[in-house]
Chain A
Amino acid sequence: MFTKTKMATALLGLAVSVAGVAQAADLVIAGRDDLMGRALEQSVAAYQAEHPDMDIELLKLPYGSLYEKLVIGMREGDSSFDLVMIDDTWATEFMSQGWLAELNEDRVSQDFIPALTDISRYPVGQGPLYSLPVVGNVAMFAYRSDLMDEPETWSDVIAQGKQLHTADRSGVVFRGTQGNPIVTGFLPMLWAYGGNIVDGDGAVNFDSPETVAAIRDFVSLREIAPRGIEVYNSGEVRDAIQQNKAAMAIEVWPSWVPTMDDPELSQVVNQVEIIPPPGEVNASTPMLGVWQMGVSANAENAAAAEDFLAYFTSANNQRDLTLSLGLPPTRSSVYSDAEVVDTYRWYPNQLNALRQGAPRPRINAWQELESIMGDYLQLALLGRITPEQAAQQAHQRMAAAL
Chain B
Amino acid sequence: MTHSLRYAVMIVLLLFFTLPTLWMLGTAFKPAGEYVGTGLSLLPNAPTLEHFISLWQQGVGQRLVNTLVVALGTTALSLTLAFLAAYALVRFRFPAQLDRMFLLLVLVVKMLPPIVVAIPMYRILRSLNGLDSLPGLMLSYQVYTLPFCIWMLLGFVRQIPVDLEEAATLEGAGLFRRLTRVVLPLAAPGLVATLIFAMLLAWNEFLFALLFIQTPSNFTLPLFIATFATENQTYWGELMAIGVISSLPVLILAGYLQRHLLRGFAMQSH
Contact = CB atoms under 8 A, between A and B. Distances in A.
A81 to B, nearest CB: 8
Contacts of A61: 210, 223, 226-227
Interface of B: 32-33, 36, 65-66, 69-70, 72-73, 76-77, 79-80, 119, 122-123, 126, 131-135, 138, 180, 184, 210-211, 214-219, 223, 226-227, 229-234
A2 B232 CA distance: 47
A253 B230 CA distance: 14
A132 B101 CA distance: 56
Given A69-B211, A72-B119, A13 B217 contact: no
Contact of A62 (B70, B73, B230): B230
A35 interface: yes
17 contacts: A2-B184, A10-B73, A16-B134, A25-B215, A33-B230, A37-B227, A57-B215, A57-B217, A62-B229, A62-B230, A62-B231, A72-B122, A76-B123, A234-B231, A238-B232, A238-B233, A243-B36
Contacts of A78: 126, 131, 214
Interface in A1-56: 2-3, 6-7, 9-10, 12-14, 16-17, 20-22, 25, 28, 33-35, 37
A30 to B, nearest CB: 9
Interface of A: 2-3, 6-7, 9-10, 12-14, 16-17, 20-22, 25, 28, 33-35, 37, 57-63, 65, 68-69, 72-73, 76, 78, 80-81, 233-235, 238-239, 243, 253, 255-256, 264-265
A6 to B, nearest CB: 4
A34 B217 contact: no
Given A62-B231, A68-B210, 16 more contacts: A6-B79, A9-B73, A12-B72, A13-B73, A14-B135, A16-B134, A20-B66, A21-B133, A34-B231, A57-B215, A57-B216, A61-B227, A62-B226, A62-B230, A76-B122, A235-B232
Closest 8 CB pairs of A and B: A17-B134, A13-B73, A33-B227, A6-B76, A34-B230, A80-B214, A13-B69, A9-B72
A34 B227 contact: yes
Given A13-B69, A68-B210, A59 B135 contact: no
A63 B133 contact: no
A234 B135 CA distance: 38
B230 to A, nearest CB: 4
A72 B207 CA distance: 12
A13 B211 contact: no
Contact of B72 (A13, A253, A255): A13
B4 to A, nearest CB: 39
Contacts of A14: 73, 135
A329 to B, nearest CB: 18
A149 B226 CA distance: 40
A262 to B, nearest CB: 10
A63 B230 CA distance: 8
Contacts of A12: 69, 72
Nearest to A59: B216
A6 B231 contact: no
Contacts of B69: 12-13, 16-17
A36 to B, nearest CB: 10
B232 A35 contact: yes
Nearest to A65: B210
